[in-house]
Structure 1
């Protein structure tokens, strides 16, 4: 969009509510400010009292309070009580979205006691805090130790729980990511009363990645362990004015923290803090900060500006001076810098109190600033709240860094809101696809600010009355927000959920990813206990029936088919190719983890961790036997492996390679290995694919064998058929009695065979004659001459086996029971 002319709008008719908003400052000065100051003072005293306790005592009280929460959850009757919500009053929350869901029947759990810093571990560089600890409280504890959270949100009242379950960013987010990215561990009370500690690498790692942006709809956060970093006493801040169009301002902003040579992790080239404020379509100021010691700050000639004093000019107005005086540098006390936007509420304070930025007001009443946002919400009423929804914008647009220029032009054309706040943040490529996620394949483009493990995003903060409203023109705030949300969906952007949202449920889950979030809600019993994040963010009042129907719909929705590991031996694996192949397999929802240049035989996944392994091969030898074994290790029992190859070989060679790969899979223990036909929906460069399954047998499992049973053949007799008479099958010859031949041989002890012997006697007599049956067994003589030497010299058939040696001529008698065949 190059045309920055805003559309012409008709004049808006004034109403009574305009008068109430214009003179609201009276209520703010005489009611809100005194009560706010009193609440700040009482809260401060309570924090000091808590800080006087030892860490051990705080931890003991924390454990007791956790058990109260557990008991409260276990006392809930799901059939009678409503969904679980915290007992925090709706007006106390800092966010601008309404919390009308609490007006329906609900089950309250009191977390008001969870507001203590439990421990500052300087060895592990970890701060363990409860969810209601706010930023003012944590910086008061850590800054004197020259420590700070890696990401410190600007407002004092922002709490740890809100920054984790919702959204938190600061000027250091281009290094450390969002506030939730700096969390090491969560302590969560689940729907069934279990208390678990979720980290990136323990058994609750899936819950760890699902907690951010979930708005407390997975469990109750009772503590968090957050990363600490070393700091110095001052911030050396450089103010650099920029004059040009919005695209040029966007480029100058990118150059202020993202080296064009891609060396994003070099601390010499990247400042510790960065932000940009755009005052008009052609004017902006970029600010870059680096930590500095007290000695450096107090050197002669250096300017120290303690912006935290109540009588000091508001920070955004002070920074605007760079447009007239040019670039300059000053040193700000670190804690003052952290909370630089608190007194003015960025620049919203001027709308609430039009004269609050004047020197006389700052000197007389500035010490009571700022009014608590919660009290401003509590005193505005329904009419004023609807007025702000229609005629005021408080939105953050999270967009990729390379699209910031387009986003600025869109905001100017559709909303015309100034100043605009720009703050970069890293979005990490997590092993699990979370509600917000990087653009698929971003690492292939090597854009400014990106690394191989993170994509650079920017928060485009739009907080003020739009230009048309200030000019008295018609402005439809709800429609403008709706168009903004559609623009974000089309450009892979995100809208923080603290703000008013016009998204319907379909578009809400187009912007955010529901797969992993919904899986965790099912797994940890949140469905039916905690409200879904969409219904918690939805604009308007939610009835009990509406919420119950939504929860039942979630239970009836099929769960995601499972996790997917996709790897290749090439440098690039197109994500679209993975999804196309999985879609052909019938898997619509999945959580793919991509591994490129997989030359080793180890996959970065635990055993039995994924449901599907997708492999894209270019090399003929890939995958080898060792890698197939690794695939079998990471697959769950019954999991599927898909192997696609890119080859220029002929059809015959392809068939041969396919059969070899099928045989490899079978020898590696896979089942049902078969070739896949590459369908037209898949890229043409794919030559073939093979699919196989891992056996679902587990250690210790058994299954029944099918035993074959012996069965006799069944004879089917038809009673209607005629039977054959067996006697009819015999002839007359068959019925004659056979005549037996009489023996002609002589009878007696010395009988001899007759001439016509038919009984076999003649054959037996001939055999006896041949064998010399008349041998004298009583005086047998050796034929070989070795019989008398003993068994060692006798042949195998010698009749003297077992007898002692004898001399030649010595008479040897054999046993009379020897047979002729034995000699």
Structure 2
């Protein structure tokens, strides 16, 4: 645990680094790592020192709450609270996602069908605003406007230094059922589970799915349990997503369930050979994790090795398609059919969610079931394809279905469309109060302009 004194000292360093930024210069984080997948235009200006804001401050086991610094990773947060039989209400799939990042940038996981998104279990947060003030925002009170607009603002309203969150009590094990259904029946099953919380008479605590082919969706139904028994290990030679196809029943520890997707970055580790059995035997277990693969992608982007191989293979062009989108559940079959025909990437991750209330910067209807559809990889494109050739078409189709896309990756919207989708009028009102000199980049500048 960091403790309160260490936290106050870290905040003091942060505020000193803010004062050191020249007047009129953009305020941004001095952060080396990121889970974003969009380019960023660096201006060389000094950034905010967040180096000491990466831990858990305190845990109140009786109240089931934790005070957590904004740059604390979910890996460290889980390590701090799971020994008490507690976890965050939503634990995003990748270990190095930070709590502040998940709240300001949205996060999702298999408990989102009953617990919503990570910001919905935040009780209060301290935010360093664009004007350099440190304010405590809560759902009600003086700074409720900042609290409401903060989710999906991606640092355009400020940076969370501390968040107090509610925690969920959990047992040590998770029993899994993998159920294969066609797309229509899977859609109906998801709605049944979201409404009733059970399938075939058994409680469902976690729900996600994997669309492996155009004809079958494999639902993964998780039931949290105290019952001891043998558990699988997907941090070794076995690969988790392959078990979803192969097994009807499985069992994991709670810890391994939370990080089941991280070891192989869902299925993306295959691009580095990490799923080849001979390579896997010599690939150190400590390097089988999403942040290592992310660094390899960054290295490849810088060195251009993939581009060289494509030239050797005669591939005319290639585009990264790394996106998570939300569409109303009833439009899922339509989207998957279109995606198969027009893009052709598989598998696709499916994660249902329901929000508890309206959030102006990511307007989903409370009580309505949506599905997050995640797809991550590359596709071949013509040599003369314009930038974002495939991604623009995905944006347009998601928009036509009444959906939204997450902004952690490249976006190509025009300003008017973007403003209508992401509550820019609310953001502008809040920015005028907390950042009157426009020291922070706008959400559009960050998400589309890559500033």
**TM-score normalised per structure 1:** 0.51
2:312 matches 1:381: no
Structure with the bigger percentage of strand: 2
| Alpha-carbon distance in 2 for matches of 1:381, 1:437 | 34
Change (3 A) 1:419 1:539: farther
Q: What SS does the aligned partner of 1:84 have?
A: coil
| Alpha-carbon distance in 1 for matches of 2:385, 2:271 | 17
Q: What SS does the aligned partner of 1:349 have?
A: helix
| Alpha-carbon distance in 2 for matches of 1:179, 1:515 | 23
2:254 matches 1:334: yes
Match of 2:314 in 1: none
Higher radius of gyration, 1 or 2: 1
Match of 2:26 in 1: 83
| Alpha-carbon distance in 2 for matches of 1:362, 1:193 | 48
| Alpha-carbon distance in 2 for matches of 1:235, 1:198 | 35
Match of 1:96 in 2: 37
2:156 matches 1:217: yes
Spell out, residue by residue over 1:664-700, the C-alpha distance to the aligned partner (whole angstroms, 9 max, x if none): xxxxxxxxxxxxxxxxxxxxxxxxxxxxxxxxxxxxx
Shift of 1:188: 0.8
Shift of 1:378: 3.5
Of the three residues 215, 219, 224, the one matched with 1:291 is 224
Query: Is the Cα–Cα contact under 8 Å of residues 185 and 199 in structure 1 kept in the other structure?
Result: yes
Match of 1:435 in 2: 361
Shift of 1:477: 7.3
| Alpha-carbon distance in 1 for matches of 2:445, 2:305 | 20
Shift of 1:270: 5.3
Structure 1 segment 292-691 matched on structure 2, within 5 A: 292-293=225-226, 296-298=227-229, 304-311=230-237, 313-322=238-247, 328-353=248-273, 356-367=274-285, 368-370=287-289, 372-382=292-302, 384=304, 390-430=318-358, 434-439=360-365, 453-466=366-379, 478-525=388-435, 527-539=437-449
| Alpha-carbon distance in 2 for matches of 1:515, 1:85 | 22
- What CA RMSD, in Å, does the superposition of the two structures yield over aligned residues? 2.7
Of the three residues 167, 178, 188, the one matched with 2:106 is 167
Structure 2 unaligned residues grouped into runs of 5+? 311-316
Shift of 1:283: 2.3
Spell out, residue by residue over 1:350-402, the C-alpha distance to the aligned partner (whole angstroms, 9 max, x if none): 1122xx22333333325131362442243123574996994332111111112
Of the three residues 247, 259, 270, the one matched with 2:184 is 247
Match of 2:143 in 1: 204
Structure 1 unaligned residues grouped into runs of 5+? 1-50, 299-303, 323-327, 440-452, 543-823
Q: What SS does the aligned partner of 2:13 have?
A: helix
Query: Is the Cα–Cα contact under 8 Å of residues 125 and 228 in structure 1 kept in the other structure?
Result: yes
Q: What SS does the aligned partner of 1:222 have?
A: strand
Query: Is the Cα–Cα contact under 8 Å of residues 209 and 434 in structure 1 kept in the other structure?
Result: yes
Higher relative contact order (CA 8 A, sep 6+): 2
Q: What SS does the aligned partner of 1:428 have?
A: coil
Of the three residues 148, 151, 162, the one matched with 2:87 is 148
Spell out, residue by residue over 1:88-110, the C-alpha distance to the aligned partner (whole angstroms, 9 max, x if none): 13xx212111122xx22534111
Aligned residues: 441
Change (3 A) 1:147 1:385: farther
Change (3 A) 1:297 1:183: same
Of the three residues 258, 261, 282, the one matched with 2:215 is 282
Query: Is the Cα–Cα contact under 8 Å of residues 493 and 511 in structure 1 kept in the other structure?
Result: no
Query: Is the Cα–Cα contact under 8 Å of residues 131 and 435 in structure 2 kept in the other structure?
Result: yes
